[in-house]
Chains A and B, each alone.
Chain A
Amino acid sequence: MRIAATLAMTFALMATSLWGTDDFFPFAPFKMYSHAHDPDGWANSTSLVLTDATGRSFPIGDNDTGFRRAELEGQLSRFREDPELLALVAEAYERAHPDSPEITAAEVVITSYELKDGERTGAETVEVAAAWTEGADA
């Protein structure tokens, strides 16, 4: 019986590792850093930049809103389709920082670094993947 429990856990993990997705959490494939990155391609780094009512722009970290960079990247396609979602992130920031000036704009900035044979060539591109400004759609 107990051996069966052990084997069941092991096989469940193996199966989801082969065919499953993160959705089957806690039995999700252990895919930390599992994606290959082309040594002759582009490496990118995403950041979220907020602008407040005083006109100050600043990138925010994982703990400022609780919405992590990796989560932003995980939901990036949603943000590309509907930049209005950034209003939610701005809202979260305001709730977490009730004493700070109001957030009026937010954008997702992706900086890409070119790699050649795994080394940085120094070339960079900066893309604004999604942008939102308060009241712009009204």
Chain B
Amino acid sequence: MTRYVNGFFFTPVALGRVAAMRFLAGLFVCIEWWAYKPFIIQHRYLPEDLYQPLLIGRILPIPAPNYWIVTGTLTVCLAAAVPVMFGYRPRLFGWILFIAYFEWMLIYNSYGKVDHASFGFMVLLLVLCMMPEARWGDRTHRSERVGWGFNLVQIAVVCTYFLSTWSKFRYGGFDWANSGVFTWAIIRRGTVFSDWMLDFPQLLTAAQWGMVAFELLTPLVLFVYPWKRIQYSIIAFFYVFHVAIFAALTISFLPHLFAMACFLPLERVDPQGLMRRVRAKRKGRKDAREHRDRGESDPELTATG
């Protein structure tokens, strides 16, 4: 039992995964502002009167965003994301990235609507700052601190599902699953994959029950940690779930999906090793060919040599 609890928090994780997650985190920051949430940068045009600071924006002396604050924050985010991606001074740039990205999230969420897909990603940025330097594909060096950090991200990811059910009960009541919420969502943002469902309200109600059951069961993925194969299958199922939601409503929770990748054994991915092997193979084949060519052209030489 003690071993199980201890393992839950501190199972050592290979450093290779840190390098991979740094790459993914930086990559997401580079993609998000133009492809995923382009309206955040558009907030630079909004007059200050539309700014509705959150509690943290009122406690800390954070100025209302204007053109230069928004543009500047993004510039710092991108400038810090690139070295983090490639593991150059990853802790220093990690902290800069974390702070700049946090301000970016405040700009994102301070105009009357708070989105909830980024919590796991922000935790990821934070724990990456506390992890040692790492190389891709490093499976020999393992660290408990890394294991703890990714566990924290994993808990945040699971809370995003599990606690959203609490919210459904709190704001929607226990009748949420019988209500017309999916109909409402599809009317607002349906696609060709989901519009037909409006004609089958029972199906949507069933889907709502399925959603509640799914979200309440998500903590299992944390507790099955000793059985990696089961854990990976559950994570694969989560990804499929998000693909389905995206097809139906074009809501993708992309930062959440990036954060969730830390469940996966990314230390097995080693681009440099792969390159080396491909190069060696090509070289090997070339050598063999040269050898053979030489052999065919001058059999005596081969025989004597």
The chain A residues found within 8 Å of chain B, CB to CB, are 2-3, 5-6, 9-10, 13-14, 17-18, 22-26, 28-41, 43, 45, 62-68, 70-75, 85, 88-89, 91-93, 95-96, 113, 115, 117-120
Contact = CB atoms under 8 A, between A and B. Distances in A.
Contacts of B205: 118
Nearest 4 pairs of A and B residues by beta carbon: A66-B42, A118-B201, A74-B112, A36-B172
B295 interface: no
Interface of B: 9-10, 38-47, 49-50, 52, 54-56, 102, 105-106, 109, 111-119, 122-123, 145, 148, 151-152, 155-156, 159-160, 163-164, 166-168, 170-173, 175-176, 178-181, 183-185, 187-188, 198-199, 201, 204-205
Contacts of B151: 6
A22 B114 contact: yes
Contacts of A33: 168, 181, 185
A115 B47 contact: no
B223 to A, nearest CB: 14
A96 B45 contact: yes
A92 B47 contact: yes
- State the majority secondary structure of interface residues on B: helix
A74 B114 CA distance: 9
A26 B164 contact: no
A71 B164 contact: no
Nearest to A116: B201
B46 A66 contact: yes
Nearest to B43: A66
Given A31-B167, A95-B45, A9 B180 contact: no
